[in-house]
Structure 1
Amino acid sequence: MLAFVVLLTGVAIAYLSRTTSDRQVAHSSFNQSSVDGLAQSAMDTIIGDLRQEIVNGSTATTVSGVTIYTPTSAANMVPQRSGNAAGAPNLIRRSWSGDTNLSVRSRASAVNSRTDVSANGRYITSTRWNGHYLVPKGNTATDDSSPIPAFTAATPDWVFVTGSGAARINQPSAAVLGRYAYAVYDEGGLLDMNVAGYPTGTSAIQSGRKGSIAFADLKALGSYPIPNPSSGSPQIYQIDQLVGWRNYGTISPTPSNNFPDITPAAQAFAKNFQTDSAPATAFFNFVANNTNGFLTTSAVVNASGRTDQMFTSRQELIAFKKIAQFATSFNVNSLQYVSTFSRETNSPSFSPSTPAGSTIDYAALARTSTAVNPNFLLRRVTNVPNGYTRFDGTTPVAGEPLVKTRFPLSRLAWITYKGPSALLATSDPVYQALINAGVGPATISTGTAANITRCFGLQFGGAAGNPSFPWVYTNPTGTVAAPASRILRLDEVAAVGREADFFELLGAGILSGSLGQNTSGGVTGGNVFPDVHMSNTTHHILSIGAAIIDQADPDSIPTRIQFSPSGTVWTAYGVENLPYITQLYPIAGTSPDTPTRWATYLLFQLWNPHQSPADVANKVRLRIDGGIGIFAGGNGQAWNTANTVNVYPPVGQVTSVTITKSASFPTPAPLATDYTSVTSTAQGTFAFLPTPAVPTPTP
């Protein structure tokens, strides 16, 4: 019986112990659920307040079932700031009882999370608030997160939550269910350390073109740059360490290093950059060929089975900085300049404003259905014909933005004076020039004729490889034989059911009144020389686009683009770093045929308008294409049609002269005979101006 009692007592104790344990677990789970619920509610409230702030400061427009919020002023384009600490630029706002400047306040009470200690003695230090290191440190010589004094004096206030939601209180209340405090930071201007930074071995041409955040120079990072290598002994390659860890699979196709390679410690993950240029080249190719915005790591798995890594949170980046094997890594003060996810929408949101003095109200017209310069967000996909896909392969959905992503300027390399870049032989000097300029082989090979027509609306005017042919603008339905007559508006592009090409985007973005001469509006116009070509806006846009292409390409041959505004083919030209004809003077001189007669010559003045004009090399040719009309009489700026016009050179012929002497023409100067070599003396051609005979003095 005694044994039974003892056994029964043991069972009872075990039951009570298990019950107590289960009760503690249940309470812990319940409390955790309550905390999670409060945190989620607080997050929803904070985000909801920010959204309401957007609504309050915007004009709402609904297009195809989608509501677009256009800021009513420049100040409403970004979140309003409140409770900021001086010297903490990343801080947007904090929960603060004094935030009366906000249109939607934080609901915080005048109870500070640091200075107003709770009944059980709890409070949050400013060092804990700055655990993310987004606020500059007060003592820059330590690794802790203690912030500047201005932030210590401006820590967030508590927001108390009751059964009715967040509420301000003036005294303790039994209705309070919980509390929260918060600070909002802007990481949009910080460098994403999952992408930024390039290693030793990257050439100046590769990194100099920028274009990607991967080529951000971390050695120039604010007041606390990341050296590569550091000064002192041993020299520490801190950027190489970062890239070597982050892009391990990409930069080491063979297991040349152990993982992790910490011998010597100063070159952890970085030793292969010091001995071979191949890892840096592999990194460059990875960046140049990335198509997903670096949202995932590379799919490369090296021979040792290792891959690339990513920082999935800011805490991982901070841990990377602090772990023992990286004790020699970058300065902790650099963390205020970097993040792990600073993405932005790649969709243009441009909407024009009205310049001072303009007679065209671009801002008002931007909201109309046929605006030349529209609010881009109001241009939506309206027609999705069978087979319509975007260039990235996705299928458009009615109602989404027509211009969903920015136009990649890397595509400019596709346009060469010999035709599509994809058709160039790898031994072609143009191909080699593109490679030497930092354009990757993948980009060059993507420049097919079909892709160029799709993205630029251009077709090459003849056999690829023949530089004598121009490009022809053909969108929407033109051909080389029948070029397009104009550039479509974005609403017309949407109606056709395709993506806008490069020139259509230029036309939508450049204010219409600033294009062409005497276009009746804007802030241009006035008394200008009547030139039918210069008054055509399509000609102007194509010329601007051609100049952009020429700015990007490595050659010195101006891009030519033809179109047909009224049945006659016109040509738009780009601009290279070359001298151009700026003026011409009619002068009289001795006839090259008969020394006793005089002839009329046109003296050309050359000028290179670029800021740093280089000496032109041999074989730079100036040409007259179209002719110059000379007639007797005149009536000011208008042609006198009653007189016979002699056109030199004759229609259909081209005359040219080759500059054979090196000169830069930094200031306007006449084309002297010692710069050229010309043998023809026929009318309508370039010729030396004969030196007039010196008359013999009469005794």
Structure 2
Amino acid sequence: MSRSPDRFPRSTPDLRTRGVALITVLSLVVIVCLILVAFVAAMRIERTASYSYGQSISAEQIGQGGLRRIIAELQYEMGKDAAPLLDYPRKPVYTNVTATNIMPQYVGTNADMPNLIKISTTTPPYTGALSSGQLIATKVNTSITAQNGRFVGTNRWNLPELGRFPGTNSTPNWILMTRSGVTDGSSGGFGTTGNTLNNASPGNTNFVIGRFAYAIYDTGGLLDITQAGYPSSLPPSDIQQIKGLLPGTSLSDTNLAIDVQKLTAWRNAASRSGYVQYVTNFLATNSGQTVYPGDNTFLSRQDLIKAAKDAVAGLTTNALPNLTTFSRDRNAPSWGPMFNATDLGGTNSASYAYRNNAGISTSSPFTAVNRNPNRLLPGVRYGSAYTITDYNSTGAAYTYQVQPGDAVVQRRFPLARLAWVGPNGPTGASVTAIRACFGLSWGPSADPNLPGVNVWKYEELTAKSTIKTLDQVASEGRAPNFFELLQAAILRGSLGVNGNAGVTSGTTYNMSIHQSFPAFQILRMGAAAIDQADADSFPTVIEYQQSGSPWQACGVESLPGIISVTPVLGVPNSSPQTEGETSATAAVYLSFNLWNPHRTTPASIPELRIRVRGSVGVYNMHGDPAILTSTLGSKSEPGFSADLDEAIELSVAARTGFTTPSTLMVSDLQGTKPISTTPSDFDKGEWVEALPLGASLTTNIATLRLHDFPYKLGLNSAITTDRYQSTKVALGYDSVSPFNAVMEFRAPSGSWIPYQFATGMNNNLTWFNSLGGNFYIVSANARTDGKYYANFIAYLGGAYPAGWTTNASSGAVYHSVANDPWGTPAGTGIVYLTYNNTWDRSLMYASNDPRSTRLNTWMFTRSGPLSISATQKMILWSSTNIATLFEKGFGGDSNYVQLKPTVFGTSYFPAQLARNNYGSDTAISSTSNTVTRTGSGSDTSYTDNDGLRRTADSGLFGDANATTGNPFERTLDKPVILNRPFRSVGEIGYVFRDNPWRTADFFSSKSADSALLDIFTVQDSTERVVSGRVNLNTRNANVLKALFTETMIDPVTNTTLSATEAATLAATITQFTSTNRIVNKSDLANVVSPFLSPTTGSTLSTNFTSLDNQNLKLRREAFVRALTDTTQTRTWNLMIDIIAQAGRYGPAANTLDKFIVESERRYWLHVAIDRFTGEVLDQKLEAVTE
């Protein structure tokens, strides 16, 4: 029967079993084969991956090793000209830093890339007197194709967006890395045997294992975009509060190609609503290295580049060459004296060889008692390990460790601390913090004239009453205080100039002994700085023990001070002496001129009063002995000596008045009008309204009236030997009771405290002592019998009696007589007197600057063609009175000036001290120090102790007339009191330095104060390293322009630098730094400012838009204020772009370009290196993804 077609054939069981086994075996074979194939493939892949990974590790090691070698080479470069100071071997200090080596040496750069500093090339990376760099490249440029086709072209090198290489010839060359280090391939050669570059034998140390190339950029000269710029909606008043810091930089310039509104909206997403507080309270205290909660930032340069390419945060790629995300600075000064006095024409004394002495403390010419205060600051170091306790700007304590060899100035001093020194004791900080940071304590004065009155007292003095030097501070294991830093920064030869130099005894010496002590001047300057920064108008008074006596250094607020004291004597014209009278009585007054020389007056001023203290002697040979029972003077003439202590308060209006020198009037006094009484007691004085005084019969003059002076005259007082007899008035006649007129303020405690003296300071050795003047009030008239008798020529309250004539132009008073016994020939002529003592021509004791305690008090007789209308104002230099003899202001020879500081020549014109330029229009830059010591001359100037004639605040006006550069009359030339915290260290330029008309000098080549720019800061960070500062040697004019734009040039008129003015200054300064280098921020004053216009006066530099902007110190220093806290010179901020390749030369290689590349790594290393120590302060590595 046949099979059914729908059925499978029936299988045989044995056959079926054998078939299954065969299939199973075959399947297992296939599986095993597949496993073997997969294993072999995996092994080959793993081998390739492992090799690739190994080679990548090699490239990474080569790259990082290359970076370490590059940094080491940069550190070696710092000692290329002179070895560092190695008294602490592990902490070198480079003392050879100059303009030629403050920056890394430029190698392989090109004109198209201002940010580029070095590339790897065939020349040494640096050359110097002691050494040259060893990191020399091969002749193989990175653009040359390797054996296996790899090369690095300009596009890849341009990736950092810091400039564009103009061609392949300008790109870096390869440096070879062998087993033993780097080589340029010039030795070793090629071959399969020996120490060749391509012999892979294990023992061959010359075998090349890779290569690298690099480009180094100066990113320190760029704007740190993580901080720079502010919201465009910020009001101008807010902008000025932060203008001294990098966040106050204007990014509005189209050359920067930044939309600042979008930038701040993205970056300051959370902080922009309170941007000023963010800057002053957050950024300023954390070094700018912490991101505010809710804000955004750029984490790396690649992040910044991506944002610019994606148009994020308002950035464009055109902005990138001006921007960085990494900026660091050592938060400590690097200043050292930059010149010797002789370099600028000063004295050859070894004591003033500042630069030469920068490394010594007590070695000759100094001693352990007379130490050198002006040292290279990084070189003054701790000798032991200490834990230093310091205080932040809130007064909170923090500590840090120092080791032997660490600099004693570890942090710049934050000026915000000045707010702690309040008018009524500590403010915002503990007594411990204030003692540590200022050396001050608040307690009862030791001055017997201020019993129980609390003042600030300086406690950190040496046994010789000097402020301690930094090396003395180091030995005590603490941080230096404010006044110790002032002393370290201000050149010693500019301090303690005494107007009576060389005089060691006598009246003039006693009146000026305080001038010789630098400690007094430094404390005064420090007090003035505190007063600039506080909001109140209470002068800061600092007491210290000078040789056992409590001396007080007073600060300077915008308050009136005494500018002159004028004695007035005369007989009331209502009762003139007539022929036949035998007696008369003269009134004796003291009148006062006051002046507030500042441009602005604050609305709130403390109560003020004028106080007159001490003895006044009045005597004359015709004094009535019946009443004047005492005899005074060398001729024992009848007279009296009054011992005064009289005070009277100023009215509310008067406290803000006296904006020009003016006589104290009755309306200036507080309370009821004083009655015109005569003191009955010889030792008393009465504040009264004087009789009408002067030719113009000025009324309402407030004077201190002394006891009347009775005369015995007439027929019994014949004169036979002189035309006239003088009445003597001696201030401080009794040496036990010297005389002074003092301005006092009522402190918050209610106590009256002196703040300004007509002469000297609180120690009465510096007061008027037996300082006398002759008042010619008695003359000779012919009697009817042909004889002569004594008569008055000084009348008060009206015109002269009949027969007397006043010359309106000269002021001379004369009386015609028929038989003048002294005429030539005898019996002819007139009695002619050149002095009119009715107040217009009275002798006066004057000062040229009411703020100054030095070179100040002088005795002057107003005579000759001097305008009598100037009496009430007593402007020393008036533009309306510039006739011959007085074109340089009041003064002259001994006919006009009876007493002056001995350092001046025969002629003395004190108003010229407002310039102190000897009439030169190159005083800002000249090495001339000419002054008139002897003989006549129309210019009055002086040199400091180091022989340098330093220009005063108005000295850039050259020999201009009295209409400009004249603080006595022109408002623009007057000094400014800020009454607010400093916004830039450059604003210390407003601080008075206790020389007539001189504030801290940040504008001239001879500046002795410029180091202050480096020692202080307006940032409050407690960190060693801070961010957000631009290197002053930047080649990017756009960066400087951004820093300058909208900088305040005049805080009174609120005038700012325009974008055009900013661009001009930026271009000029970058032109300067293209051929020179700025070593320290102090160079802004000593070097850059003179460069901007070496000639001033009527010659206008193209760097300024007006003569006032050029010549007014306040305006000229605007560029310094803009740069001081936004810049630095100490730290090298570099970005190293390195491309590293692992690989080898094959056995057949015979030239250096036959390198076989096996792997590659690229890094951008941002590094900050301290130029003065070589320390790497910070670094940040980016692995570059291309």
TM range (shorter): 0.7 to 0.9
Q: How much has 1:514 moved relative to structure 2?
A: 1.2
SS class of match (2:285): coil
Matched with 2:595 is: 606
Q: CA 1:641 to 1:189, structure 2 compared with 1: closer, same or farther past 3 Å?
A: farther
Distance 1:309 1:676 in 2: 60
SS class of match (2:330): coil
Distance 2:690 2:87 in 1: 66
CA contact (8 A) 1:618 1:661 kept: no
Report the TM-score, using the length of structure 1 for normalisation: 0.73
Distance 2:309 2:63 in 1: 28
1:504 to 475, 484, 498: 484
CA contact (8 A) 2:247 2:279 kept: no
- Cα shift readout 1:483-510 (whole Å, capped 9, x = no counterpart): 9943211122222222211101111111
Distance 2:316 2:453 in 1: 56
SS class of match (1:505): helix
2:184 corresponds to 1:168: yes
SS class of match (1:56): coil
2:68 corresponds to 1:44: yes
Q: CA 1:619 to 1:180, structure 2 compared with 1: closer, same or farther past 3 Å?
A: closer
Matched with 1:294 is: 288
Matched with 1:312 is: 299
Q: How much has 1:616 moved relative to structure 2?
A: 6.6
Amino acid at match of 1:124: V
1:283 to 278, 284, 287: 278
- Cα shift readout 1:422-478 (whole Å, capped 9, x = no counterpart): 2xxxxxxxxxxxxxxxxxxxxxxxx33332222111223469xxxx96642333389
Distance 1:185 1:6 in 2: 62
Distance 1:698 1:508 in 2: 68
2:554 to 565, 573, 576: 573
Q: CA 1:693 to 1:345, structure 2 compared with 1: closer, same or farther past 3 Å?
A: same
2:172 corresponds to 1:159: no
Q: CA 1:39 to 1:405, structure 2 compared with 1: closer, same or farther past 3 Å?
A: same
Matched with 1:110 is: 139
Q: CA 1:322 to 1:413, structure 2 compared with 1: closer, same or farther past 3 Å?
A: farther
CA contact (8 A) 1:587 1:603 kept: no
Q: CA 1:532 to 1:657, structure 2 compared with 1: closer, same or farther past 3 Å?
A: farther
Amino acid at match of 2:321: Q
SS class of match (2:691): coil
Distance 1:218 1:72 in 2: 32
Q: CA 1:448 to 1:4, structure 2 compared with 1: closer, same or farther past 3 Å?
A: same
Report matched runs for 1:372-411 at 5 Å. 372-382=373-383, 389-391=389-391, 393-399=398-404, 400-411=406-417
2:226 to 194, 197, 204: 194
Q: CA 1:625 to 1:336, structure 2 compared with 1: closer, same or farther past 3 Å?
A: farther
Q: How much has 1:183 moved relative to structure 2?
A: 1.4
Q: How much has 1:17 moved relative to structure 2?
A: 0.7
Report matched runs for 1:531-610 at 5 Å. 531-588=512-569, 597-604=586-593, 606=595, 608=597, 610=598
CA contact (8 A) 2:666 2:689 kept: no
Distance 2:610 2:401 in 1: 47
Distance 2:29 2:634 in 1: 131
2:104 to 69, 79, 89: 79
SS class of match (2:127): coil
- Cα shift readout 1:651-679 (whole Å, capped 9, x = no counterpart): xx65554473698767x633353872364
Q: How much has 1:565 moved relative to structure 2?
A: 0.8
CA contact (8 A) 1:547 1:576 kept: yes
Q: How much has 1:343 moved relative to structure 2?
A: 0.9
CA contact (8 A) 1:618 1:660 kept: no
What is the Cα-based RMSD across aligned positions, in Å? Answer: 4.1
CA contact (8 A) 1:160 1:179 kept: yes
Distance 1:224 1:641 in 2: 80
Q: CA 1:58 to 1:642, structure 2 compared with 1: closer, same or farther past 3 Å?
A: farther
Matched with 2:354 is: 362
CA contact (8 A) 1:388 1:497 kept: yes
Distance 2:612 2:518 in 1: 21
Q: CA 1:330 to 1:582, structure 2 compared with 1: closer, same or farther past 3 Å?
A: farther
Distance 2:413 2:574 in 1: 57
Q: CA 1:283 to 1:602, structure 2 compared with 1: closer, same or farther past 3 Å?
A: same
Q: How much has 1:534 moved relative to structure 2?
A: 1.8
Q: CA 1:22 to 1:152, structure 2 compared with 1: closer, same or farther past 3 Å?
A: closer
Higher helix share: 1
Distance 1:594 1:571 in 2: 47
Distance 1:449 1:5 in 2: 93
- Cα shift readout 1:611-641 (whole Å, capped 9, x = no counterpart): xx125768676655684665579xxxxxx99
Q: How much has 1:132 moved relative to structure 2?
A: 1.9
Amino acid at match of 2:491: L
Q: How much has 1:696 moved relative to structure 2?
A: 7.3
Q: How much has 1:81 moved relative to structure 2?
A: 1.6
Percentage identity across paired residues of the two chains: 29
Number of residue pairs matched?
589
Matched with 1:131 is: 159
Distance 1:42 1:641 in 2: 90
SS class of match (2:117): strand
Higher strand share: 2
Amino acid at match of 1:362: Y
Q: CA 1:190 to 1:202, structure 2 compared with 1: closer, same or farther past 3 Å?
A: same
CA contact (8 A) 2:537 2:558 kept: yes
Q: Which runs of 5 or more structure 2 residues have no equivalent in the other structure? A: 1-24, 191-196, 199-206, 363-371, 392-396, 446-451, 502-507, 577-584, 620-632, 693-795, 804-1186
Q: CA 1:316 to 1:619, structure 2 compared with 1: closer, same or farther past 3 Å?
A: closer
CA contact (8 A) 2:498 2:513 kept: no
CA contact (8 A) 1:188 1:344 kept: no
2:439 to 457, 460, 476: 457
Distance 1:388 1:8 in 2: 75
CA contact (8 A) 1:221 1:337 kept: no
SS class of match (1:472): strand
Q: CA 1:329 to 1:383, structure 2 compared with 1: closer, same or farther past 3 Å?
A: same
Distance 2:640 2:145 in 1: 96
CA contact (8 A) 1:589 1:600 kept: no
1:673 to 647, 665, 668: 665
Amino acid at match of 1:502: F
2:799 corresponds to 1:695: yes
Report matched runs for 1:225-374 at 5 Å. 226-229=258-261, 237-244=262-269, 248=270, 251=271, 277=273, 279-280=274-275, 283-284=278-279, 286-287=281-282, 291-298=285-292, 300=293, 307-323=294-310, 326-327=311-312, 329-353=314-338, 354-355=340-341, 356=343, 357-358=346-347, 359=349, 360-370=352-362, 371-374=372-375
Matched with 1:432 is: none
Q: How much has 1:539 moved relative to structure 2?
A: 0.8
Q: CA 1:134 to 1:205, structure 2 compared with 1: closer, same or farther past 3 Å?
A: same
Distance 2:686 2:440 in 1: 33
Q: CA 1:663 to 1:577, structure 2 compared with 1: closer, same or farther past 3 Å?
A: closer
Matched with 2:427 is: 421
Report the TM-score, using the length of structure 2 for normalisation: 0.45
Q: How much has 1:34 moved relative to structure 2?
A: 1.4
Amino acid at match of 1:394: T
Distance 2:635 2:87 in 1: 57
